[in-house]
Structure 1
């Protein structure tokens, strides 16, 4: 979609990367690390200062005290943390349950591991977890359940009740939990709850996160996986043959970022809240059915008022004729039919870009 945006001169509200830069204090920390000669291979599972910063931040956010050397593995972005977790802990034939729609890397990496994938579909308007359907899906072959909260692409935040229900299923059936929490600092309507913090869950949970979304530095690819030692062992076995080590100076800068004052995270949430409101109001004015987004920097909408048969057809029209890029989310489902009426927009753009995109849609889209 980003290539099509360039080809057609369209405004890109598709792929989730900001069109503004990260904070100066983090970039300066990277420059200083390079000047200080921190340019050779890092320790495989992370430079000590970053492992410690991850542990400190996790304690502050979740209340859990962890060992930075034994329970934190630094990876090349959260996508590598996902791959290392799946390849290190899932065997061929293991069953893994996902919630659709899902980040496409999940299914791809599970396929590499030879896993059998089951998907529980979250449906609009609120994308609530169908609890009884989930319970029925757990079998003696289920090795893990994977969650993403706040949730890409829907913007849903799993409720405490949903998380506790999933936790009980994991404990009752001896199932692992893989938690992708990259949007934890973009929770607008309720505090983020880390699955590992629910009683009895830390010992069976891998928590994955990254620098990119919170600090608008997606190109740095700094991520991490937090897990108890018996699970960390598997994650590190895979990690050592995926990337071995992650950029040394960027790890030093990431440590500085994670020690940012609370005011940084408060301002981040406030700024993104304003961007969300700008986009949501514009989408409604343009004629979309807009679904609630409680977290992430994505909004899901229903495009059917405009008369197109599916999301791909609509998104192609949106690029060619309107000059705006969005993502057709049918690619995030095992059954593409489940997503054919939906479209995902991102608001991680400067205000002028969001206004320009909204103006184009209001001017050119017509209900049918």
Structure 2
């Protein structure tokens, strides 16, 4: 008997598999196809010959924990304790899974804002808890009245994703003020803030939960070196949480993976000595602007992209078919893979929108745009 009877193969796996089968350009899954910084690969090459291949401490490589604390202080002005408030995880997904498994009990409710990334619901269900899916407005702003109505004495956690995947939307000062008011009314709710794209923002500055003093004692922050440094396959993320929450999360983490692979942790720790995260937003903004420019003559309507490396587009002027079928046909007939936005909703709400990933080299974007503009 399945523990997850209603969860099938991820849409990302489906579309990437189809992209391979039909030799299509894969703008579906969110990973870069350009080279990693040579400074980082040089570090890895050197470390391969050194004694860094055995288990590291369960919570993370000690120098890396200190450098994460320094990065957070530099980025957000927040002082955190490396030994008790940081956990290096096997990607952000493992961090999210461990957090939910540790803190959510049977019959608790967890608020998930749709469209939502697909790794949130499964650990809630595996905790024998209840995911409560609440749709964002059609412009992807949070409807705080609707969110508050969904909260009750059973609500244990609210998950936010900022910058937001799949839409690229960024939360505002007003959003955080509304969230803080809501949490005042429900003092038992814990906030899980997924901010893996925190350094990939454009005209609007990313406003992090790290900067909200009223939230810090009940918030788990989720970050990703994989996203920040274009090494998604390394699967290295980290959590930051107050000690009373982190103690519980570490209990799950130690039996889930115990510790994250050693060479990646040491390499990232060394890399942080000279890399600047301040350059990342500008790098991806050029990618976003170039991709949007390439699609100017297409029949797609491009939605705002405030952060992440995703571009949402409407195909309403092209077809009336549902977004899953359109994406399949896009692969088969036109040779480009994208992700249908309806799959991020519990009710499969279909607004005729799809998501492209523009974290690709220029040649790939140009080839994809040529195909898309011919539709």
TM-score by length of 2: 0.93
Tell me if the contact between 2:201 and 2:285 (Cα under 8 Å) persists in the aligned partners: no
Distance 1:46 1:358 in 2: 42
1:134 aligns to what?
147
Q: CA deviation at 1:340?
A: 4.9
- How far is the alpha carbon of 1:259 from its aligned partner? 3.7
From 262, 285, 309, the counterpart of 1:297: 309
Which residue number corresponds to residue 63 of structure 1? 77
Query: Which among 350, 356, 361 is matched to residue 350 of structure 1?
Result: 361
Superposed CA offset, 1:91-125 (max 9, x none): 1111111111111000112111122111221233x
* CA–CA separation in structure 2 for the residues paired with 1:312 and 1:284: 24
8 Å Cα contact 1:222-1:254 kept in structure 2: no
Alignment of 1:1-368 (within 5 A): 1-124=15-138, 126-174=139-187, 175-262=189-276, 265-336=277-348, 338-363=349-374, 365=375
Q: Distance in 2 between matches of 1:318 and 1:238?
A: 42
Count of matched residue pairs = 360
Please give the alpha-carbon distance, in whole angstroms, between the structure 1 residues aligned to 2:131 and 2:362.
39
Task: Give the Cα separation in 2 of the matches to 1:306 and 1:100.
Answer: 25
Q: How far apart, in 1, do the equivalents of 2:77 and 2:283 lie?
A: 26
Note the residue ranges of structure 2 that are not aligned, 5 or more in a row.
1-14
Please give the alpha-carbon distance, in whole angstroms, between the structure 2 residues aligned to 1:34 and 1:169.
Answer: 49
Deviates more, 1:20-29 or 1:253-262: 253-262
1 CA distance for matches of 2:271 and 2:108?
Answer: 37
Classify 1:130/1:284 alpha carbon distance in 2 versus 1 (closer, same or farther; 3 Å). farther
Task: Please say which of residues 209-218 and 25-34 is displaced more in the overlay.
Answer: 25-34
1:138, 1:198 → 2: CA distance? 21
Contact 1:29 1:252 in 2 (8 A): no
Residue 70 of structure 1 aligns to a residue whose secondary structure is: helix
How many Å apart are 1:213 and its aligned residue? 1.0
Detail structure 1 runs of 4+ shifted over 4 Å in the superposition.
Answer: none
CA distance in 1, matches of 2:84, 2:140: 36
User: Residues 296-344 of structure 1, C-alpha deviation per residue, up to 9 Å, x if partnerless?
Assistant: 00011122211232111100110011100001122211110x1352101
Whole-Å separation in 2 of the counterparts to 1:266 and 1:285 = 32
Question: Which is helix-richer, 1 or 2?
Answer: 1
Distance 2:174 2:184 in 1: 15
Distance in 2 between residues matched to 1:200 and 1:100, nearest whole Å: 25
TM-score, structure 1 length as denominator? 0.94
Indicate conservation of the 8 Å contact 1:171/1:200, yes or no. Answer: no
Which of 60-69 and 20-29 deviates more?
20-29
Question: What CA distance in whole angstroms lies between the structure 1 residues aligned with 2:137 and 2:170?
Answer: 13
In 2 relative to 1, CA 170–36 (structure 1 residues): closer, same or farther, beyond 3 Å?
Answer: same
5+ long unaligned stretches in structure 1:
none
CA distance in 2 between partners of 1:5 and 1:279 (Å) = 20
**SS in structure 1 opposite 2:28?**
coil
Instruction: Please give the alpha-carbon distance, in whole angstroms, between the structure 2 residues aligned to 1:232 and 1:353.
Output: 42
RMSD: 1.4
Q: Whole-Å Cα distance in 1 between the matches of residues 312 and 123 of structure 2?
A: 25
